[in-house]
Structure 1
Amino acid sequence: MNAKELREKSPEELRTALADLKKAAFNLRFQQATGAIENTAQMKKARRDAARVKTILNEKAAAAAGNE
């Protein structure tokens, strides 16, 4: 998931993507705690993707506030 793809999405789509990413991060943390995780790099990717979505949401909110 890259920033260019995210910028094309609506704020509602971004919020649902953020919720999905947070659930995925939680599940990965749970897997790590139980020792069931095979690829620990997935945790880093999920965290960074969530941060990327939050950044795009903030950019869109700032742009909307600037237009009003």
Structure 2
Amino acid sequence: MATAKELKELSADDLNRRAAELRETLFQDQLKRATGSLDNPSERTQHKRDLARILTVLGEKSRAEKKA
């Protein structure tokens, strides 16, 4: 996934779209984990971190808009 620096260059709509995709991916990972078919558990961890990174950048952008 992208770094925080790259994510800051994206628009809020793009970030929201990526967040929604990652939430869906995490849901699928959770189902795979429950059924025992999750191949690489570290991918789930990476997806969670990517989602957190995106949400952090979205929060920064919204605070910057309120400040301006």
Instruction: Tell me which interval the TM-score lies in, with the shorter structure as reference length.
Output: over 0.9
Gaps of 5+ in 2: none
TM norm structure 2: 0.95
The two structures, once aligned, show a CA RMSD in angstroms of: 0.5
Cα deviation for residue 4 of structure 1 reads 1.0
Q: Distance in 2 between matches of 1:11 and 1:36?
A: 34
Partner of 1:21: 22
Q: Percent identity?
A: 34
Partner of 1:46: 47
Runs of 4+ deviating beyond 6 Å: none
Count the aligned residue pairs. Answer: 67
Which amino acid in the other structure matches residue 45 of structure 2? K
Q: Distance in 2 between matches of 1:26 and 1:6?
A: 22
